[in-house]
Amino acid sequence: MKIVVLGAAAGGGLPQWNCGCQNCEMARHGQLPRMTQSSVAVSVTGARWAVLNASPDIRQQLDVVTVMHPGALRGTPIQSVVLTNGDIDHVAGLLTLREKTPFTVYATSDGLDLLAQNPVFGVLDAELVARRPIALDTVFEPIDGLHVTPFAVPGKVPLFMEDDDLDLQAMGEQTVGLKLQTAEKTAYYIPGCATVPDWLRHQLSDGDMILFDGTVWENDEMQQTGTGQKTGARMGHIAMAGADGSLARLAHLEGRKVYIHINNTNPVLRPDSPERAEVESAGWIIAQDGMELTP
């Protein structure tokens, strides 16, 4: 299994266009690597790839990663796109992939309904871009040799679908994790997760690698930095720090551990920060754009 991080940041990227926080200013001045919005590509052979979430930055991402370049006058090594939720930073990139090249979009029924209800996604030629439903806890094969099992994780509906009855830790098709398996390896991709219950801790124990939601270090991080009022929990993302944070809740995992979908405010992005030292001492890797990973 080959995994390439196309984008490692949460929505907005690093630097975020309207943000002057410490991390964004450091990125603008070349003191931190720039990061595009969260997406990874997975392959078994290195020839055909499944893209997990279509970031709004996908054109730039595919241009930078050479294995994503077309091998002919027209074409793509991308065989499929798999969506884990309907967030803008995970579906908007589909609009970039509209230039008459075939691939398949896989999503839950909720995810496909979201695309069907928004006519702008009609720019994807239905004769070339198939839309295939995936069922929770049921294996499908987006590329030859890669077996993927979607499973519900705690999370909320996309921001533009929120209403007065919002459940921040809902379980269902609106937010899924992906179990990725080949004959030799098992990896998990969970870029959005509101909490880590005991059943999830147990489920992830068989992974050779996990790419997990690293949005914020502390729940009130945006309030502390003066960049917003929403907490991590309000956004549907678990914090890294604290007794109930992902760092503590996933300490038992023995496989490689990678934080992805990292918000521009998160202090772990700074290599000299104590938060970065704590994460790395616990065996975690901070994802960066272009990073190549092998479970």
Local confidence pLDDT in tens for the 295 residues of the chain: 999 999 999 999 999 999 999 999 999 999 999 999 999 999 999 999 999 999 999 999 999 999 999 999 999 999 999 999 999 999 999 999 999 999 999 999 999 999 999 999 999 999 999 999 999 999 999 999 999 999 999 998 887 777 778 878 878 898 999 999 999 999 999 999 999 999 999 999 999 999 999 999 999 999 999 999 999 989 999 999 999 999 999 999 999 999 999 999 999 999 999 999 999 999 999 999 999 999 9
Beta strands in 88-128 (DSSP E): 103-107
Contacts of 145 (CB under 8 A, 6+ apart): 44, 45, 182, 183
Domain over 2-293 is classified CATH 3.40.50.1390: no
pTM of the model: 0.96
Longest dimension (CA), the chain: 54
Cβ–Cβ under 8 Å, residues 171 and 195: no
Query: Domain segments of the chain: what residues?
Result: 2-293
Q: How far apart are CA 188 and CA 41, in angstroms?
A: 13
Q: Please say whether the dihedral angle defined by the alpha carbons of residues 282, 219, 51 and 96, taken in this order, is positive or negative.
A: negative
The H or E element that residue 148 is part of is strand 146-152
Reduce the DSSP state of residue 237 to 3 states and report it.
coil
